[in-house]
Amino acid sequence: MPKPDMSLTVNVNVTGTLDSNNNLTASATYSQGTSTPSSPGVVDTGGDIDLTQMQDQNNDYSNKTDITFMMSGTITDAHGNQYSAQFPSGNPVTITGGSGNNQFTPSLQSSTQLLIADADENGQTYHYCLACEPDILSADMPVAALDPNIVNR
């Protein structure tokens, strides 16, 4: 029987502004949510993820890790209106570096939840760039990039 994947939740709290020209500027703070196996210190406040910190002393899990990003926070427009931050449906994440994007399978679970199935175990560093947008109806939806790293086992 195959071993189950490890899992990690990353909380992404976005603060953003939307100016009168519809330009979005956003930043995020990150915190680690639950992980299986329980492994503190995998995610830092800048959003970097170090999967070498996943603690599987008994080798009960596969080296694959399901990473779930949970987005929250607000984006404020030039008139003071506040909107929830969410992932864009078209391209919620770009992954570069290491041996490329084919090591990860992103899947948008909802407008605020993104799952990345990390199949890689080559010890390389990848850069992931999450995208966020305000939860508003607009023909020209502004998108902002957030840019942490993933370090694989």
Q: 41-81, pLDDT tens digit by residue?
A: 999 988 889 988 999 989 999 888 899 999 999 999 999 99
Rounded to whole angstroms, the Cα distance separating 93 from 43 reads: 17
Query: Left if phi > 0, otherwise alpha if psi is -120 to 50, otherwise beta: which for 109?
Result: alpha
Q: Which domain holds residue 115?
A: 6-151
Give percent of the chain with pLDDT exceeding 70: 86
**Does the residue 77 lie in any domain?**
yes
* Phi then psi dihedrals of residue 102, to 5 deg: -70, -5
Give the mean model confidence (pLDDT) for residues 23-43. 94
**Does the residue 1 lie in any domain?**
no
Which pLDDT score is estimated for 105? 76
Sorting pLDDT into bands at 50, 70 and 90, what band is 133?
A: very high
More confident residue, 12 or 125: 12
In the three-class reduction of DSSP (H, G, I as helix; E, B as strand; rest coil), residue 7 is classed as: strand
Q: What angle do CA 144, 146, 129 make, to 5 degrees?
A: 105
**Does the residue 80 lie in any domain?**
yes
Contact between 17 and 80 under an 8 Å Cβ cutoff? The reply is no
**Does the residue 102 lie in any domain?**
yes
**Does the residue 88 lie in any domain?**
yes
Q: Which residues contact 79 (CB under 8 A, 6 or more apart)?
A: none
* Strands (DSSP E) found in 89-124: 93-97, 104-110, 113-118
**Does the residue 57 lie in any domain?**
yes
Which pLDDT score is estimated for 77? 93
Nearest to 38 by CA among 56, 61, 59, 23: 56
Is the pLDDT reported for residue 22 higher than 60? yes
User: Structural domain tally of the chain?
Assistant: 1
Contact between 123 and 152 under an 8 Å Cβ cutoff? The reply is yes
